Amino acid sequence: MATTTTAPATSSGRMAAVNEMTRLLRLLFEVEREFLRTVTTLVYRVGEPELKYLVCQHAWESAGHARFIRERGRELSGFGTGEAVRDSVRRVFVEAVGHAKSDPLVLTAGFYEVLKPALLDAYRHYLKVTDHLADWPSKKLVEEFIADEERHLREVAPFLKGVDAREWKLHLTQALDDLGGWLGQETRLPLAAGYVWQQDKTPYAHPATCNRGKYPVCSSIFGFDPTEDPIVRPWLTDPKTDARVIRMMVYVWLMMEMDAIDYLATAFIDTPNAPFDLHHDLARHLWDESRHSQFGFRQLPKLGVDLMTVEHSLELYNILVHMPAHERYAMMTMEFEAGSFPTKAHVMDRVRELSDFEADTLLAFDRNDEQNHVRFGHRWLPEMMAQFGETRPVEEFVKATQEKFKQMAKTYGNLTPHSLPKEKRLTGEKILKLATAN
């Protein structure tokens, strides 16, 4: 791991003013970076899709904050060339992650009602103590980030109404007070002798399955029986299938990219020493998949589909969570996404028959994003492999991982029964009726 320069070379002398602001920027970079790495553990633990989507968006925006702070910091002396996060900052964020049995909404309150408000205070403090002309580039960035942070708090607040998180919030507040705030700008209140770090008692582990809240679930939405499965594989490529049926099926497919959101989000916490740019691109990948899922989540009701009849597939998360992060990432980018292009190309051509500009637009952006994700895989899979000490050539590793996935599927696959009887759940047969009703 690269070393980190966390303090200016000198706090006095001719560059003292620059050095002090650089010290604060360095801390802000580390806080935003560690927020990204840990808030993503909420994605697969909260059940409400709209909250999942928001956390993905905020993670991506935090990645952008960190990137711009890093670029600005490198223009100033003393920022350092390393990217690691100091232990005192990391420890607070790892504490906020909780453990496998923690209430996910209580954890969300910890991030959004303790840690993020403290970050907002830190940004406001920066504006207060810097010179708004001399440090104009930093000032403009921080002003934008303050607006983002204020919006993030507003957006998540409705999901936390009625959540009793007082005890947990006090626990995290005490850990943060021990630092005197993220920038050390407040009076430091040392931890009481009896304070117990939960992470020391119960180290974090990913839950065995992801949370989908009130929505019905199943193992997989893909199959061959139109009386059982919503996406009938042969229908997608059969030229006789009505294009309206294909459009509705592909919206179900897109909505179920929520499984990609859930298992991709597990990779951040598992790669604490990865380069920041890797986490930055993972955050973009995560936000893209979130948008794709929203394509289906928002379009299906417009086509007459009751979302409470659409079962959510848990198969991929349930298998991949038992594999290390570099293997999860290999399967996602080199297998699932790279392998989807031929079928999706055919689907796009069929949907174009409908002259549905909105559908064409959504599918075009989905394809463009997926191409970028495969590029991310080619760029970052070797680095992620290195993080886990994997030395085999990439091609050999990918083939071995594909075989391992098949074996893992025999143990962990097909374990989620249908929540709904086929009379109530959306199936290919029902899609055919809905899509061709008019």
Give tens-digit pLDDT for 303-317.
999 999 999 999 999
Q: Which residue has the tokens 């970079």?
A: 29
Task: Express each pLDDT in 177-200 by its tens digit.
Answer: 999 999 999 999 999 999 999 999
- In this structure, what token pair is assigned to residue 376? 């991310």
Task: Express each pLDDT in 157-171 by its tens digit.
Answer: 999 999 999 999 999
- In this structure, what token pair is assigned to residue 150? 């204020």
Helix axes 243-255, 276-299, angle to 10 degrees: 140
CB 56 within 8 A of CB 261: yes
CB 230 within 8 A of CB 24: no
Confidence of residue 12 (pLDDT cuts 50, 70, 90): low
CA distances from 94 to 115, 120, 204, 217, 308 (A): 12, 19, 8, 30, 35
**Is the model more confident about 241 or about 341?**
241
pLDDT reading at 232 higher than 60:
yes
Task: Express each pLDDT in 105-154 by its tens digit.
Answer: 999 999 999 999 999 999 999 999 998 999 999 999 999 999 999 999 99
Task: Express each pLDDT in 344-374 by its tens digit.
Answer: 999 999 999 999 999 999 999 999 999 999 9
CA dist 326 and 269 (Å) reads: 12
pTM: 0.94
Q: Which residue has the tokens 């499984």?
A: 259
